[in-house]
Structure 1
């Protein structure tokens, strides 16, 4: 085949370091917009970005030109550097080391978009820790809970 034809929908999840509450109403919208630009710059357009005070979800179409690990690394590095310029209350901001990433089938896109849009409402009844473990379990990903939370 002379062409490379690829379309991978990826749901990425990661938290702030030690799940500290940095992503407040004051910065949230601008942060998510900034991350959307980063995704676009790496040819991995974001379909939806959302989260809560201590973590974010990104649904994007992963470019065939970049490894998932590299995309997440770039998003974290650039957004962390950017958020630290937004005032003294953000100067100690860091993302956690790891991340979760899950493939999304074409028929599941709308469900995942709505799930990400409603993160604030969702987390009124469920902690991030339980949410992530449910995601790992539903995708049959083996993990050692001692190493999930840094």
Structure 2
């Protein structure tokens, strides 16, 4: 893509199906590394990632030839297959349908990286539901309650 210059920084947020706490700490880092490989294989750059037990934040520098929905689908489907092939849980692992995607300027990268890497502390005070609705409101995204993730809290 000669003469194409972009800066597309996207934070993806998606949840475990049924909002179960299925991503356990001993597997978290390996799953994050696997997801980073998927991102790199899609010509994009992983900036930060944190897999909470019931949801995940992925911050990427997106290549202009890659659609957000395509890379998200690839991350979710390949990581589900990886978890199932590794037999980390009884039954079948899956992500919920849908995702959130939020864009950031270069000047915000450091803050977003810090926010994502600080997820364990953040969720001691704020539920995933509160966090996600805060994102939607902050980015002025209209939504319908019935189409949000299944929230158990």
Pairs aligned (count) = 149
1:28 corresponds in structure 2 to: 28
Normalised by the length of structure 2, the TM-score is 0.93
Structure 1 residue 8, shift from structure 2 partner: 0.2
What secondary structure sits across from 2:26 in the alignment?
coil
**Deviations along 1:52-90, whole A, 9 cap, x unmatched?**
100010110011111101010111111100011122525
Within 2, Cα distance between the matches of 1:39 and 1:32?
A: 11
Gaps of 5+ in 2: none
2:59 corresponds in structure 1 to: 59
1:100 aligns with 2:100: yes
What secondary structure sits across from 1:141 in the alignment?
coil
The answer to whether the 8 Å contact 2:102/2:139 transfers is yes
Gaps of 5+ in 1: none
CA RMSD of aligned residues (A): 1.2
Within 2, Cα distance between the matches of 1:76 and 1:64?
A: 20
Structure 1 residue 121, shift from structure 2 partner: 1.0
1:7 corresponds in structure 2 to: 7
What secondary structure sits across from 1:89 in the alignment?
coil
2:77 corresponds in structure 1 to: 77
Moved over 2 A (4+): none
Within 1, Cα distance between the matches of 2:147 and 2:47?
A: 29
